[in-house]
Amino acid sequence: MDAVHLIFGLGLIFLAAELFTNAIEWFGKHIKANEGTVGSVFAAVGTALPETSVPLVAFLKNGGSHQAGIGAIVGAPMMLSTVAMFVTGVAVLAFAARNRRSKQITADYRVVGRDLRWFFLVYLTALAAAFIPHAYRPAKLAVGGVLAAGYAYYVYLTVTCPDCGRRESEMRPLHFARRASKPRLRFVLTQLLASLVVLVVGARTFVDSVTSISAALGVSALVLSAIITPIATELPEKLNSVTWMRHKKDTLALGNITGAMVFQSSVLPAIGIFCTGWGLQELGHAGVASMIVALLASSILWAEMTLRKRLSPYSLLLGGAVYLVFPAYFFGFLHGRP
């Protein structure tokens, strides 16, 4: 029965991803937003809602749930910078092989490059905060405030970007108003809200199923938090990006991932700092390792985007190889440790 629930949850997530990407494009068109805003802010934050709820719920509970919350925080950026990029690279090559698009990725390097730069800087700051002794708690809280303020400034730069593309691309009909050439805003918002409801229900169903299956297999809570749960909650980002890559909307596809990386490397660590000690003891070796893997993967993409002003699908595939460093390290050196 758990397997049936898992498949059902996946189906809901697929449906929600299609409804969300379709609605968020029309919403951006209604407010005349640039592609960077639609992909890096609207889509990224919207699809990050399920995994954002995981640490919040964990920190509100009593007992030993803080570890699960911290695992969800550090696991999300790692999955986005590695697995999500890998899946996107596979999608580009697969659609190119079917003549649905070219292998060349035409994302706006100013949007995606800025996202990667911000991610690297704020996440490195979040990692540095873990090395501040607990006796200097006010300093940790100050770093949390800087991370939250940094994300607010990033949103401002993205929304007001004068050079970010506002090109008109072919719009698919809104699913909730397929006959309208330009659907009214109320239909767009209705579909957008419906997609988020379906997304949350699908993600919860999927995560609950994975939790039950993992418990039956005897997998530890640390593994579940650091590896399995982030993969489950990051599915919407990957699916939205695959959908946009299929429709040759590369800035939206990559901005959806890199924008979520910025959000989850600033806002979520800030929540962790405010709600926990956020020290080396709380993060543990697995937490620090996952953060280093994410920084390594993002630095590779950042370097290519800066030097070549573009990204290759083969560079995106490297994310899968970089991700394997974490389970190899975890199971090789940390398995069985608290």
Is the pLDDT higher at 287 or at 64?
287
Is a pLDDT exceeding 70 seen at residue 58? no
Is the pLDDT higher at 333 or at 40?
40
Total domain count for the chain? 1
Which residue is associated with the tokens 């700051």? 125
Confidence of residue 313 (pLDDT cuts 50, 70, 90): very high
Q: How far apart are CA 71 and CA 283, in angstroms?
A: 8
- Least confident interval from 105-119, 145-159, 166-180: 166-180
Q: What is the mean pLDDT of residues 8-13?
A: 79
Is a pLDDT exceeding 50 seen at residue 81? yes
Residue 162 lies in a domain: yes
Is the overall model pTM greater than 0.85, yes or no?
no
Q: What is the mean pLDDT of residues 8-30?
A: 80
Q: What is the mean pLDDT of residues 249-260?
A: 86
Is a pLDDT exceeding 50 seen at residue 334? no
pLDDT in tens, 132-149: 998 999 999 999 999 999
* pLDDT value for 109: 82
Per-residue DSSP letter, 31: T
* pLDDT value for 255: 84
Residue 274 lies in a domain: yes
Alpha-carbon 313 to chain mean position? 18
Label residue 102 exposed, middle or buried (CB < 10 Å: 0-12, 13-18, 19+): exposed
With beta carbons less than 8 A apart as the criterion, state whether 249 and 169 touch: yes
* pLDDT value for 14: 74
With beta carbons less than 8 A apart as the criterion, state whether 316 and 85 touch: yes
Here the CATH number for the domain that contains residue 101 is 1.20.1420.30
Per-residue DSSP letter, 39: I
Q: What is the mean pLDDT of residues 107-124?
A: 89
- Nearest Cα to Cα of residue 84 among 47, 127, 54: 47
Residue 36 lies in a domain: no
* pLDDT value for 69: 77
Residue 315 lies in a domain: yes
Nearest 5°: CA angle at 71, between 67 and 77? 155
Residue 12 lies in a domain: no
Nearest 5°: CA angle at 106, between 103 and 110? 145
Is a pLDDT exceeding 90 seen at residue 186? yes
Please state, in angstroms and as integers, the Cα–Cα distance from residue 249 to each residue in 32, 60, 107, 191, following that order.
17, 39, 8, 21
Q: How far apart are CA 243 and CA 4, in angstroms?
A: 25
Residue 112 lies in a domain: yes
Residue 109 lies in a domain: yes
Tokens of 235: 């599915």
Q: How far apart are CA 34 and CA 44, in angstroms?
A: 14
Is the pLDDT higher at 129 or at 166?
129
Is the pLDDT higher at 142 or at 102?
142
Is the pLDDT higher at 290 or at 222?
290
Alpha-carbon 113 to chain mean position? 16
Q: How far apart are CA 63 and CA 53, in angstroms?
A: 18
Confidence of residue 234 (pLDDT cuts 50, 70, 90): low
Handedness of CA 163, 165, 168, 173 (dihedral sign): negative
- Least confident interval from 126-130, 186-190, 334-338: 334-338
Q: Give the domain extent around 278.
A: 51-174+219-334
206 three-class SS: helix
Is the pLDDT higher at 28 or at 258?
258
DSSP string, 268-287: HHHHHHHHS--SHHHHHHHH
